[in-house]
Amino acid sequence: MTVQTTTTPTYQVTDPATGEVMETFPFATDEEVEQALADASTAFATWKATPIEERAAIVKRVADLFAERAEELGVIILEEMGKRLSSGSGEAEFCKDIFDYYADQGPALLASTDLPGHEGKAKIQRLPIGPVLGIMPWNYPYYQVARFVGPNLVAGNPVLLKHAENCPRSAAAIAKIMDDAGVPKGVYTNLYATHEQVASMIADPRVRAVSLTGSERAGTAVAEAAGRNLKKVVLELGGSDPYIILDTDDVETAVDTAWATRMENMGQACNSNKRMIVMDRVYDDFVASLVKRAGEMVPRKGQDDGDAAYSPMASRKAAEGLRAQVQDAVDKGAVLHVGGELADGAGAFYSPAVLTGVTPEMRAYREELFGPVAVVYKVSSDQEAVELANVVDYGLGGAVFSGDEDRARAVAEQLDVGMANVNTPAGEGADVPFGGTKRSGFGRELGPLGIDEFLNKRLFYVER
């Protein structure tokens, strides 16, 4: 997921609708970072020895508090990064599902298993490894944290959490939930860390692994530091997911689904349908219907939650970057059918856009457009659709739609991605693994694979 890191003097809340700085938070001191590392190291000894049923019960309480506080949590991220209120509260409620899943299923997922052919003598144990560092993004301030923290708390790994610089209030709200749920001191610590402090934590032997959701640039830096210090790392980076329409008997319904998917979180989602690849027999009607929907949208006012209202992007800088990508395409011959206008002033309202005619020399062809722009391509064969889908360096997810399921499955089987979907934008759920391939990163979160990343899968062998 491409998530830009802000470079501010402090952690701060900036209203993306106006550009107004609403509150600032100081960076952690080096002494606070050292204390957090010491506390996590000390807590590991007792947390890993705590019966898993007790760990799960605390995580279950975390889940309940996310649900109980969903509305207030939604207001916080409305102000921090512009998410519409219903989406923000819905995100908090989904966090309950994630924490519940690991609380309920964790004991079974972490149970030792016999090694086939060596029953009674050899088994694989799934044990915690120690304190883990999470570096989290702004686009889903609660959900991204939940899918990292939930499995690690149940597994017995203390968590050090560095959130995005523009999400200090949501970071504090999560830390309060952990405290109120009874998470012991040192088992979860929120740090308003600097980039230099993050590097020092990765190098510190008390930190055993690191997970980052963010940009390729951030992922490269974290992976380099982790590799240099022999640390396990999970990366969830950029995406430019193909969304292939092979055929449809109902163009309007197909467009409704495609547009709603693209506009989720103002297009600031890692697995959004950033490249719509449409068969020529459907293409003209599909584009016309997309243009109509985009043209009907108006800027959101206050807490307006109507479907026709679009939110600001997370920051003026992000909106300006998207505008530059679109302008590059237009300058080189692409057609901007509607939208693509950045509002005057310091706010981050960027009108939803539809772009066609994108070709390989344009930035939009290979770069991720992390915002409300639907890029539509016309193809004339299933093989052409596959080739176009796989041409980019990303490999997060992809979706294929057709009235002929066998045809859609055959195309989806050829997608070079971590998540291939047939006749749905994405398979989703706390129990459904999430992650990509190529430059979209490596490792998995959620589901049974999510709890498996930061474990010592120890062989325990008894000769008899």
Q: Are 138 and 80 within 8 A, CB to CB? A: yes
CA distances from 284 to 59, 153, 256, 280 (A): 50, 50, 15, 8
Residue carrying structure tokens 């610590």: 189
Exactly one of 270, 367, 368, 453 is catalytic; name it. 270
3-state secondary structure of 353: strand
Exactly one of 236, 368, 445, 453 is catalytic; name it. 236
Element of type H or E holding 211: strand 209-213
Measured distance between the N- and C-terminal CA atoms of the chain, rounded to whole angstroms: 50
In the annotation, is 270 catalytic? Answer: yes
Q: Are 429 and 130 within 8 A, CB to CB? A: no
Residues present in the chain in total? 464
In the annotation, is 167 catalytic? Answer: no
3-state secondary structure of 35: helix
Distance CA 67, CA 88 (A): 12
Q: Which residues pair with 5 in a beta bridge?
A: none
Cβ count within 10 A of residue 61? 18
3-state secondary structure of 245: strand
Q: Which residues are catalytic?
A: 236, 270
